[in-house]
Amino acid sequence: MKKIIVLILLASILMVFAGCARTPQDTQGTTQDGQLSSLTIGTMPALESFPLFIAYTQGFFEDEGLTVHLERFFSPVDRDIAFQTGDNIDGKIFDLVQLAVYQEAGIDAVATTSTIGMASFIGGPNIYEIEDLRGLRVLMTTNTSMDYILDRALTSGGFVMDDIITYEVPALPIRLEMLLHDQAEGAILPDPFAAMALEEGYNLVTTTVELGINPFVLVFRREITETRLPELQALYRAMNRAVEFLNTADREEFIDVLIETVGYPQHVRDTLIVPTFPRYVLPSTSVVQDVLDFTRERGLLTLDITAEDIIFDIGN
């Protein structure tokens, strides 16, 4: 446990020094019809972003004649400010709860595809099922996708929020550290933090896959979908090639890129289970509507919008 805590602390220190620094990475190419204009996507160290980096390193964007800038952020706040202020960010890995909040605030962005969408409900010692958490402490973040996942996980076990004690811990490294120091009995964690907890012997209570929900999406400004549709279509062709590569290639061909871009500790390199990546498809209408219902229950959304209003089909 000490080893992983040191790694977390080092990662936190690096984030402080990195601040909102971003490392752009480009690819360039041409098509028979001429050069496509570029797209800039804001990414975070998360599994959802990984196929984008594979499409870059394998030259799949270049094959499609597309220039892609991957702007790497270490803080979601910095990423969101850059997107909202029009600081050259066309799209980003995001979640449906915050997308609904955007709509309420008049920021017109749409979901063009779902991502791998993995997050886990991790239990501490002797916590194996939802029923084991009655009256106990769970770490999460209110009014986010983590809140939505926790709510739906509790519902699946016949529980409600009042059956547990929730602690607000937005910073994921701190959330993991608190769980590993037994300051709570459960936590909602995405990878790589969920994988780190499991590596330390903690228990997998449930996942978004088991719950049949995926609140994680790739969003673009609506104006981008209206003015750069060929670029978006080329982007998704390249990303789906990246998914096919990840699901068929030997892990040694990409494991080091995975460790570096997602932020897994080096010591899990040989034991890390690489998931099967799904093809990029439209978000589930039923899940999007469920998230909209959730945001209304939370008082985050008052607009009369439906799932169809915030899903955009690029038609690729």
CATH number for the domain that contains residue 227: 3.40.190.10
**What is the domain count for the chain?**
2
Based on the fold, state whether residues 193 and 230 are members of the same structural domain. no
pLDDT band at 87 (very low <50, low <70, confident <90, very high): low
- In this structure, the number of other CB atoms found within 10 A of the CB of residue 215 comes to 28
* Residue 30 resides in a domain: yes
Per-residue model confidence (pLDDT) at position 306: 95
Full-model pTM: 0.84
Average pLDDT over the chain reads 87
User: Does residue 2 surpass a pLDDT of 60?
Assistant: no
User: Does residue 180 surpass a pLDDT of 70?
Assistant: yes
* Residue 23 resides in a domain: yes
Domain boundary among 211, 245, 279: 211
Based on the fold, state whether residues 288 and 224 are members of the same structural domain. yes
User: Does residue 24 surpass a pLDDT of 90?
Assistant: no
Mapping DSSP to helix (H, G, I), strand (E, B) and coil, where does residue 139 land? strand
* Residue 315 resides in a domain: no
Per-residue model confidence (pLDDT) at position 28: 37
User: Does residue 314 surpass a pLDDT of 50?
Assistant: yes
Per-residue model confidence (pLDDT) at position 44: 87
Per-residue model confidence (pLDDT) at position 8: 35
Based on the fold, state whether residues 35 and 71 are members of the same structural domain. yes
Tell me which DSSP letter residue 159 carries. -
User: Does residue 22 surpass a pLDDT of 70?
Assistant: no
Where on the phi/psi map is residue 263: left (φ > 0), alpha (ψ -120 to 50), or beta? left
Q: Which stretch of 32-41, 94-103, 247-256, 279-288 has the lowest confidence by average pLDDT?
A: 32-41
Based on the fold, state whether residues 233 and 160 are members of the same structural domain. no
Per-residue model confidence (pLDDT) at position 316: 64
Compute the CA torsion angle 215, 216, 218, 219 (nearest 10 deg).
40
Based on the fold, state whether residues 113 and 224 are members of the same structural domain. yes
Q: Say which residue, 308 or 26, is predicted with more confidence.
A: 308
Per-residue model confidence (pLDDT) at position 13: 30
* Residue 93 resides in a domain: yes
Domain boundary among 211, 226, 253: 211
* Residue 316 resides in a domain: no
Based on the fold, state whether residues 161 and 231 are members of the same structural domain. no
Residue with tokens 């997602």: 262
Residues 111, 99: contact at Cβ < 8 Å?
yes
pLDDT band at 1 (very low <50, low <70, confident <90, very high): very low
User: Does residue 77 surpass a pLDDT of 70?
Assistant: yes
* Residue 108 resides in a domain: yes
Based on the fold, state whether residues 290 and 249 are members of the same structural domain. yes
Domain boundary among 181, 211, 241: 211
User: Does residue 21 surpass a pLDDT of 70?
Assistant: no
> Amino acid identity of 293?
D
d(CA 238, CA 228): 16
Based on the fold, state whether residues 110 and 156 are members of the same structural domain. no
pLDDT band at 204 (very low <50, low <70, confident <90, very high): very high
Return the percentage of the chain with pLDDT > 90, whole number: 71
Residue with tokens 């990029």: 280
* Residue 268 resides in a domain: yes
pLDDT mean over 173-201: 93
* Residue 249 resides in a domain: yes
Find the domain containing 199 and state its range.
Answer: 119-211
Based on the fold, state whether residues 145 and 130 are members of the same structural domain. yes
Omega prior to 278 cis, within 30 of 0: no
Based on the fold, state whether residues 186 and 175 are members of the same structural domain. yes
pLDDT mean over 254-264: 91
Based on the fold, state whether residues 18 and 107 are members of the same structural domain. yes
Based on the fold, state whether residues 176 and 254 are members of the same structural domain. no
d(CA 59, CA 149): 35
Q: What is the pLDDT of residues 118-134, one digit of tens each?
A: 899 999 999 999 999 99
